[in-house]
Amino acid sequence: MKKATDRRKNIISHVKGTLDTILRVEANSASCCIIYEPESPKGLSKFKRKTK
């Protein structure tokens, strides 16, 4: 029984350390995203809603 609780504490400490590291890296990094949006084809105009 004691061996199982020691193993569990060991796993918990490793998981905690890993999550702390991941959170630190994610909080200190910036992300960038480039989105390419081409012009819509002329044929799509017939599907647009008509507004008054």
CA dihedral 7, 10, 12, 13 (to 10 degrees): 170
Whole-number pLDDT of residue 33: 64
Per-domain residue ranges of the chain:
1-47
pTM beyond 0.95 = no
The residue with greater pLDDT, 6 or 51, is 6
Whole-number pLDDT of residue 34: 73
- Which string of b and e fits 36-47 if b means at least 16 CB within 10 Å? eeeeeeeeeeee
Whole-number pLDDT of residue 51: 67
* DSSP summary character for residue 28: T
Whole-number pLDDT of residue 31: 63
Tokens 């990094």, residue located: 29
Whole-number pLDDT of residue 13: 95
